[in-house]
A and B are shown apart, each in its own frame.
Chain A
Amino acid sequence: KAGVTQTPRYLIKTRGQQVTLSCSPISGHRSVSWYQQTPGQGLQFLFEYFSETQRNKGNFPGRFSGRQFSNSRSEMNVSTLELGDSALYLCASSLEGGIGREAFFGQGTRLTVV
Protein backbone atom coordinates (compact mmCIF):
# COMPACT_ATOMS: atom_id res chain seq x y z
CA LYS A 1 0.00 0.00 0.00
CA ALA A 2 1.40 3.41 -0.94
CA GLY A 3 2.61 5.67 1.85
CA VAL A 4 1.96 9.34 2.41
CA THR A 5 3.04 11.25 -0.69
CA GLN A 6 4.13 14.85 -0.62
CA THR A 7 4.77 16.94 -3.70
CA PRO A 8 6.93 18.58 -4.69
CA ARG A 9 9.95 17.28 -2.77
CA TYR A 10 11.97 20.43 -3.25
CA LEU A 11 10.95 23.98 -4.03
CA ILE A 12 12.75 27.30 -4.35
CA LYS A 13 10.68 30.46 -4.17
CA THR A 14 11.38 34.15 -3.98
CA ARG A 15 10.43 36.29 -1.01
CA GLY A 16 6.94 37.72 -1.46
CA GLN A 17 5.69 34.87 -3.65
CA GLN A 18 3.16 32.28 -2.57
CA VAL A 19 3.49 28.50 -2.59
CA THR A 20 1.17 25.51 -2.48
CA LEU A 21 2.27 22.14 -1.15
CA SER A 22 0.34 18.90 -1.59
CA CYS A 23 -0.10 15.86 0.63
CA SER A 24 -1.81 12.66 -0.47
CA PRO A 25 -2.59 10.48 2.54
CA ILE A 26 -2.58 6.72 2.71
CA SER A 27 -5.71 5.35 1.05
CA GLY A 28 -8.56 5.36 3.52
CA HIS A 29 -6.97 7.84 5.90
CA ARG A 30 -9.17 10.83 6.63
CA SER A 31 -6.99 12.83 9.01
CA VAL A 32 -4.12 14.89 7.63
CA SER A 33 -1.90 17.12 9.74
CA TRP A 34 0.90 19.47 8.71
CA TYR A 35 4.15 20.37 10.45
CA GLN A 36 7.00 22.78 9.89
CA GLN A 37 10.55 21.75 10.75
CA THR A 38 13.29 24.35 11.08
CA PRO A 39 16.74 24.03 12.66
CA GLY A 40 15.89 26.65 15.26
CA GLN A 41 12.35 25.64 16.24
CA GLY A 42 12.30 21.93 15.49
CA LEU A 43 8.99 20.37 14.49
CA GLN A 44 5.91 22.51 15.04
CA PHE A 45 2.26 21.74 14.39
CA LEU A 46 0.59 23.84 11.70
CA PHE A 47 -2.94 22.44 11.34
CA GLU A 48 -5.00 19.30 11.10
CA TYR A 49 -7.83 18.44 8.74
CA PHE A 50 -10.40 15.74 9.10
CA SER A 51 -13.17 15.12 6.57
CA GLU A 52 -12.50 18.45 4.83
CA THR A 53 -12.75 20.46 8.08
CA GLN A 54 -9.90 22.10 9.93
CA ARG A 55 -9.96 20.51 13.36
CA ASN A 56 -6.95 22.09 15.04
CA LYS A 57 -4.58 24.96 14.25
CA GLY A 58 -1.14 25.75 15.58
CA ASN A 59 0.31 29.11 16.40
CA PHE A 60 1.22 30.35 12.92
CA PRO A 61 0.27 33.58 11.15
CA GLY A 62 -2.66 33.76 8.77
CA ARG A 63 -0.29 33.55 5.80
CA PHE A 64 -0.32 29.82 6.42
CA SER A 65 -3.53 28.17 5.32
CA GLY A 66 -4.71 24.81 4.19
CA ARG A 67 -7.59 22.80 2.93
CA GLN A 68 -8.65 19.21 2.44
CA PHE A 69 -10.53 17.78 -0.50
CA SER A 70 -13.22 15.14 -0.56
CA ASN A 71 -10.63 12.47 -1.46
CA SER A 72 -8.70 13.45 1.72
CA ARG A 73 -5.81 14.98 -0.21
CA SER A 74 -4.67 18.14 1.49
CA GLU A 75 -2.91 21.26 0.38
CA MET A 76 -1.22 23.96 2.40
CA ASN A 77 -0.58 27.43 1.10
CA VAL A 78 1.86 30.03 2.30
CA SER A 79 1.37 33.53 0.98
CA THR A 80 3.80 36.45 0.96
CA LEU A 81 6.77 34.20 1.63
CA GLU A 82 9.43 35.31 4.06
CA LEU A 83 12.99 34.06 4.38
CA GLY A 84 12.05 32.48 7.70
CA ASP A 85 9.53 30.25 5.97
CA SER A 86 12.41 28.18 4.61
CA ALA A 87 11.83 24.80 6.20
CA LEU A 88 10.94 21.18 5.73
CA TYR A 89 7.16 20.83 5.64
CA LEU A 90 5.86 17.43 6.67
CA CYS A 91 2.41 15.97 6.62
CA ALA A 92 1.07 12.95 8.44
CA SER A 93 -2.06 10.92 7.95
CA SER A 94 -4.05 8.50 10.03
CA LEU A 95 -7.38 6.72 9.78
CA GLU A 96 -8.70 9.36 12.11
CA GLY A 97 -7.08 11.27 14.91
CA GLY A 98 -7.66 9.38 18.08
CA ILE A 99 -6.44 7.01 20.69
CA GLY A 100 -4.83 4.00 19.09
CA ARG A 101 -4.61 5.56 15.63
CA GLU A 102 -1.05 5.46 14.36
CA ALA A 103 0.14 8.40 12.28
CA PHE A 104 2.25 7.93 9.14
CA PHE A 105 4.55 10.67 7.90
CA GLY A 106 5.49 11.72 4.40
CA GLN A 107 8.98 12.46 3.09
CA GLY A 108 8.40 16.19 3.31
CA THR A 109 8.72 19.17 1.00
CA ARG A 110 11.85 21.22 1.47
CA LEU A 111 11.03 24.86 0.77
CA THR A 112 13.80 27.38 0.29
CA VAL A 113 12.88 31.06 0.16
CA VAL A 114 15.50 33.32 -1.41
Chain B
Amino acid sequence: KNEVEQSPQNLTAQEGEFITINCSYSVGISALHWLQQHPGGGIVSLFMLSSGKKKHGRLIATINIQEKHSSLHITASHPRDSAVYICAVRLGTGNQFYFGTGTSLTVIP
Protein backbone atom coordinates (compact mmCIF):
# COMPACT_ATOMS: atom_id res chain seq x y z
CA LYS B 1 0.00 0.00 0.00
CA ASN B 2 1.34 3.39 -0.99
CA GLU B 3 1.34 6.02 1.73
CA VAL B 4 0.68 8.73 -0.87
CA GLU B 5 -2.07 8.51 -3.47
CA GLN B 6 -2.42 10.96 -6.33
CA SER B 7 -5.21 11.48 -8.82
CA PRO B 8 -5.64 11.60 -11.68
CA GLN B 9 -2.66 9.73 -13.12
CA ASN B 10 -3.02 11.41 -16.49
CA LEU B 11 -4.72 14.65 -17.41
CA THR B 12 -5.21 16.39 -20.74
CA ALA B 13 -6.57 19.91 -20.77
CA GLN B 14 -7.23 22.67 -23.26
CA GLU B 15 -5.22 25.84 -22.87
CA GLY B 16 -6.96 28.15 -20.43
CA GLU B 17 -8.71 25.45 -18.42
CA PHE B 18 -8.66 25.28 -14.62
CA ILE B 19 -6.82 22.16 -13.44
CA THR B 20 -6.91 20.34 -10.12
CA ILE B 21 -4.58 17.54 -9.00
CA ASN B 22 -5.30 15.76 -5.74
CA CYS B 23 -3.07 14.09 -3.18
CA SER B 24 -4.13 11.97 -0.21
CA TYR B 25 -1.79 10.49 2.37
CA SER B 26 -2.29 8.01 5.15
CA VAL B 27 0.44 8.95 7.63
CA GLY B 28 1.18 11.88 9.88
CA ILE B 29 3.44 14.33 8.09
CA SER B 30 5.55 17.34 8.94
CA ALA B 31 5.32 18.89 5.47
CA LEU B 32 4.07 18.28 1.95
CA HIS B 33 5.79 19.33 -1.26
CA TRP B 34 4.33 19.71 -4.71
CA LEU B 35 7.02 18.99 -7.29
CA GLN B 36 7.17 19.54 -11.04
CA GLN B 37 9.21 17.34 -13.34
CA HIS B 38 9.74 18.17 -16.99
CA PRO B 39 11.01 15.68 -19.57
CA GLY B 40 14.74 15.33 -18.99
CA GLY B 41 14.32 14.65 -15.32
CA GLY B 42 15.02 17.72 -13.21
CA ILE B 43 12.62 18.29 -10.35
CA VAL B 44 11.53 21.69 -9.13
CA SER B 45 9.77 22.21 -5.83
CA LEU B 46 6.68 24.34 -6.45
CA PHE B 47 5.35 24.54 -2.92
CA MET B 48 6.09 23.37 0.57
CA LEU B 49 3.00 23.26 2.80
CA SER B 50 2.42 22.41 6.41
CA SER B 51 -0.97 24.12 6.69
CA GLY B 52 -3.41 26.31 4.81
CA LYS B 53 -2.90 27.61 1.32
CA LYS B 54 -0.13 29.09 -0.83
CA LYS B 55 -0.24 30.88 -4.17
CA HIS B 56 2.50 31.52 -6.74
CA GLY B 57 1.26 33.17 -9.89
CA ARG B 58 -1.25 30.84 -11.53
CA LEU B 59 -0.52 28.01 -9.11
CA ILE B 60 -2.41 27.48 -5.86
CA ALA B 61 -1.80 24.71 -3.34
CA THR B 62 -3.96 23.84 -0.37
CA ILE B 63 -3.64 21.31 2.41
CA ASN B 64 -6.12 19.98 4.96
CA ILE B 65 -4.14 18.31 7.73
CA GLN B 66 -7.18 16.80 9.44
CA GLU B 67 -8.39 15.16 6.24
CA LYS B 68 -4.83 14.28 5.10
CA HIS B 69 -5.45 15.81 1.69
CA SER B 70 -3.82 18.40 -0.54
CA SER B 71 -4.72 19.87 -3.91
CA LEU B 72 -2.71 21.67 -6.56
CA HIS B 73 -4.67 24.02 -8.79
CA ILE B 74 -3.49 25.64 -12.01
CA THR B 75 -5.57 28.53 -13.25
CA ALA B 76 -5.56 29.52 -16.94
CA SER B 77 -3.43 26.53 -17.91
CA HIS B 78 -0.79 26.95 -20.61
CA PRO B 79 1.11 24.44 -22.75
CA ARG B 80 4.30 25.22 -20.80
CA ASP B 81 2.55 23.76 -17.72
CA SER B 82 2.78 20.33 -19.38
CA ALA B 83 4.85 18.24 -17.00
CA VAL B 84 4.57 15.56 -14.34
CA TYR B 85 3.38 16.86 -10.97
CA ILE B 86 4.39 14.87 -7.92
CA CYS B 87 3.15 15.09 -4.37
CA ALA B 88 5.80 14.34 -1.74
CA VAL B 89 5.30 14.08 2.00
CA ARG B 90 7.95 14.43 4.66
CA LEU B 91 7.70 12.31 7.76
CA GLY B 92 9.09 13.55 11.03
CA THR B 93 12.09 15.82 11.26
CA GLY B 94 14.37 14.08 8.77
CA ASN B 95 14.66 14.79 5.07
CA GLN B 96 12.98 11.54 4.04
CA PHE B 97 10.13 11.86 1.56
CA TYR B 98 7.45 9.51 0.34
CA PHE B 99 6.17 10.26 -3.14
CA GLY B 100 2.95 9.90 -5.06
CA THR B 101 3.09 8.23 -8.45
CA GLY B 102 2.72 11.56 -10.21
CA THR B 103 0.16 13.17 -12.49
CA SER B 104 1.16 13.60 -16.11
CA LEU B 105 -0.40 16.83 -17.38
CA THR B 106 -0.65 17.75 -21.04
CA VAL B 107 -2.05 21.15 -21.97
CA ILE B 108 -3.11 21.43 -25.60
CA PRO B 109 -2.96 24.82 -27.33
Contact = CB atoms under 8 A, between A and B. Distances in A.
Interface residues of A, number: 32
A97 B96 contact: yes
A107 interface: yes
State which size class the interface on B falls in.
20 to 34
Interface in B91-109: 93-102
B33 A107 contact: no
A42 interface: yes
A35 B97 contact: yes
Given A98-B30, A99-B50, A90 B97 contact: no
B41 A107 contact: yes
A45 B45 CA distance: 16
Interface string A80-114: 00000000101010101111111111111010000
Interface in B23-74: 30-31, 33, 35, 40-45, 48, 50
Contacts of A44: 99
